[in-house]
Amino acid sequence: MKFLILNGPNLNLLGSREPDVYGCETMEACLAGLRQRYPQHTLTAKQSNVEGELINYLQQAAAEGCDGVVLNAGGYTHTSVALRDCIAAIQPLRVVEVHISNIYAREDFRRTSLISAVCCGTIGGFGLDVYRLAIEALA
């Protein structure tokens, strides 16, 4: 199966960004572990700090016959109607929303997700293991 792992703003800083919240492992190390664990799947990873680029990546995944998307939309989770509309438009492509931290244990503004209602599931609060759990759910 082919999966897209798509990360939004500031997730390129994993490993150094607020390690008390996001841990010390880099996304590159996480991806290496996922590829080793799931050699039977094609895992493509993309990251952007730009909302429109995330939308383009999602539309491209749908057009190319991707089997599922693991999406950590970062701060756009709470603000992007455009991202929500894109996820709704590309269905039946399954998108799993992931969050490294438990967004419900953080600031009030992080407790609202505009994308959850159009994703097939949400996984959060388990560190970088959320990516593995999402792949398991999609596979």
Q: Is 99 a catalytic residue?
A: yes
Which of 81, 87, 72, 58 is CA-nearest to residue 27?
Answer: 72
Percent share of the chain, pLDDT over 70: 100
Q: What is the CB neighbour count within 10 angstroms for residue 97?
A: 25
Under the banding of pLDDT at 50, 70 and 90, the label for residue 40 is very high
Least confident of 23-32, 53-62, 78-87, 93-102: 23-32
CATH 3.90.580.10 fits 2-138, yes or no: no
Mean pLDDT, residues 17-37: 88
Residue 21 in this model has a pLDDT that exceeds 80 = no
Q: Are 59 and 6 in contact (CB under 8 A)?
A: no
pLDDT of residue 37: 98
Percent share of the chain, pLDDT over 90: 80
From the candidates 57, 76, 99, 131, give the one annotated as an active-site residue: 99
Is the whole-model pTM more than 0.75? Answer: yes
From the candidates 22, 57, 76, 131, give the one annotated as an active-site residue: 22
Residue 63 in this model has a pLDDT that exceeds 80 = yes
Q: Are 80 and 62 in contact (CB under 8 A)?
A: no
